[in-house]
Structure 1
C-alpha cells in the first residue's frame, strides 16, 4: 500500500516493543515473558462487551460490539510465535476489529509451546470452529482472522477442515501471517536491517519451540506455504514492507492465487510486523478498516457499522 509512513509513530511503536524485549534474558521464564507481553498490551480502547466462554473445551472470550448479529462470528487467533500472546494481549486489536466490522468475535487462548507443541494449537483452533457450529452458526456466517502465528492457524485450520471434508468458513483475514517455519524467504535477508525485532535466528528458535526437535517444519499444517492451497475461501493478506516475514505473506498470496483462491494482498510501506496492534499509527487504522470491510462483505453484514 502506498502512502508515506508516519515515522515518529512507527518509531514509538518499535520502542514499545524493544522496551519489552530488552528486559528479557536467557534466564527469563516463559511465564514471565507471557505476563510481560500481556501487561504491555493490556487494555481496550473501544466500547465492547466481553464474556468468558469454554469453546469446545478451549478457553476463550466473546468480544461483542453493540447490535452485532447473532448469526455471524469472527473466530480470532492471536499471534506470539506460538510461545506468548493471549486474548488479553490482543483484546484491543480484536475489539477494534469487532467494532469496525459490526461483528462479534470469539477469541481463543489456544495452548502454547513448549508445554503444548504442534498440533495442540491447531487442534484447539479446530475445536473452537466446531464449537461455533454446535452453537448453530453456519460456516457461511463465520470468518477466521489472525495475526502472525495466528495467521498460520487461520490457514492451518482451513486446510485441516478441508482435508477432513468439513465445510470451510466464508473468508480469512491474515495480518503478517507466519506461513513458513523454515524461514526460507529472501526477505529474511533483504529486510534484516529494516525489521527492528524479528530476525531469522529468532524465528527459527520459535519454530523449534513449537515443533520440538524432531518436528518437520515443512509439514503443510505447520507451514501452510508448502500446502496444497486449493479450495480455500477468499483471503485478505496484510503485511508490512519492513518485515523479515514479508515473503511469508507474499509467497502465500502468490501460491493461493495460483491454486485458484480469491486473494487480496496488501503490502504496507514502512510498516512493521503486525502494525495493526498500534492504533496510534494512522496506517494501522486504515488497515483495520480495510480488514473490517473485507469481513463485512463476506459475512454479508450491513454497512451501517462502517468505521469512522
Structure 2
C-alpha cells in the first residue's frame, strides 16, 4: 500500500540475487528453499491426495467451508515448483474465500516437455467433473506457468468437449512461449527475478524443439479464445511477463470474453506471494477472493 514497502522489497530481492544453478536439481531445490520464506496463513488443513493420476495437495479451510472447488496450478517455468512451493498462494485463496482447493503436482520438463503439463491438468479437471464436481462451482487458478496452465487447460477442455469452469484466476501468467512481448526488453534489469535469456533457457526445456506459436503455448498471440470463462489476470509493472497478461487481455476482450486486467505498479513477478509483508499483495489477494466469490455466488 506504500511506495516504501515496494521499494524495500525490490531492494531486498536485488541484495540477494539467486545463485546461478548448475543442474535442474539445483534449480528445483533452490526454488523450494526460496518459497519456504513466504508466509503461509493459518486456518487451513493440508492433506496429500491424487487427482488425474498425479499427486496433489488438498487444502481446506478449518472452518466455515463454502461450496466450490479451486484447482490450483503452481508456477515454476514448467521445470520446477510443486504444490508445496505454491502453498502460501493456495492457502491465502482458501482462507480468503472459504473454498477448498486441490493443488496439482503436474509433470515437469525437461523429462516431460510440452504438452505433458497440460495433459495432466486436463486429466485433473476431467476427474473432478467425473467425481460430480459442478464446473459452475469450480475455478482454475495459478501463478506464472501455472497461471498460463489455468488458461490453456480451459482451451484443452474446450477442445475435448468439456464444460468450462466458472472462472480463471491467473497471477503473473506466462501466456507467450515466443517471448515477443515488448516488456521482455523494456523490463530487462527492472525485473529483479528474470532475464530474457533465462526465460528462453527454461522455455527451451519445455518446448523441446516444438514451435512456440501454438494455441496451447502462446494464447496471448495465437489461437481462438472464444468461449473461455470470465477471468482475472494480475501482474506487476516490474516483470518481464507483464505483456503476456496485457496482450492476452486484449485478445480475450476482442473474443467477447469477460476479463479483468489488474496491473499493480512497482511490484515483481507473482507479488501476491508476499502477503503479510507487502500491502499490495494482500490487496490483490482480496480482489482475487472477491472475484472467486462472485463467480461461485449462490453455489
Structure-2 residue corresponding to 1:38: 32
Contact kept? 1:6, 1:282, Cα under 8 Å? yes
Structure-2 residue corresponding to 1:219: 214
Contact kept? 2:2, 2:279, Cα under 8 Å? no
Task: Give 1:171-190 correspondences, 5 Å limit.
Answer: 171-190=167-186
Which 5+ residue runs of structure 1 have no aligned equivalent?
A: 303-308
SS at match of 2:55: strand
Task: Give 1:50-69 correspondences, 5 Å limit.
Answer: 50-65=46-61, 66-69=63-66
The change in CA–CA distance for 1:7 and 1:56 in structure 2 (over 3 A counts) is closer
Aligned residues: 294
Name whichever of 232-241 and 30-39 sits farther off. 30-39
1:91 aligns with 2:83: no
Deviation beyond 3 Å, 4+ runs, structure 1: 2-5
Compute the displacement of 1:301 (Å).
6.3
Structure-1 residue corresponding to 2:135: 139
Deviations 1:263-293 (A, max 9, x none): 0001100010000111211100000010011
TM-score normalised to the size of structure 2? 0.93
SS at match of 2:162: coil
Contact kept? 2:10, 2:192, Cα under 8 Å? no
Which 5+ residue runs of structure 2 have no aligned equivalent?
A: none
Structure-1 residue corresponding to 2:262: 266
286, 290, 299: which one pairs with 1:289? Answer: 286
**Coordinate RMSD, CA, aligned:** 1.8
SS at match of 2:294: helix
Structure-2 residue corresponding to 1:306: none
Structure-1 residue corresponding to 2:74: 78
Q: Distance in 2 between matches of 1:195 and 1:76?
A: 25
Task: Give 1:15-34 correspondences, 5 Å limit.
Answer: 15=14, 18=17, 21-22=18-19, 24-25=20-21, 28-34=22-28
Deviations 1:217-249 (A, max 9, x none): 111111121121101110101000111111000
Compute the displacement of 1:189 (Å).
1.4
Q: Distance in 2 between matches of 1:163 and 1:79?
A: 24
204, 211, 215: which one pairs with 1:208? Answer: 204
TM-score normalised to the size of structure 1? 0.91
Compute the displacement of 1:193 (Å).
2.5
Deviations 1:63-91 (A, max 9, x none): 0012223x410001011100111111111
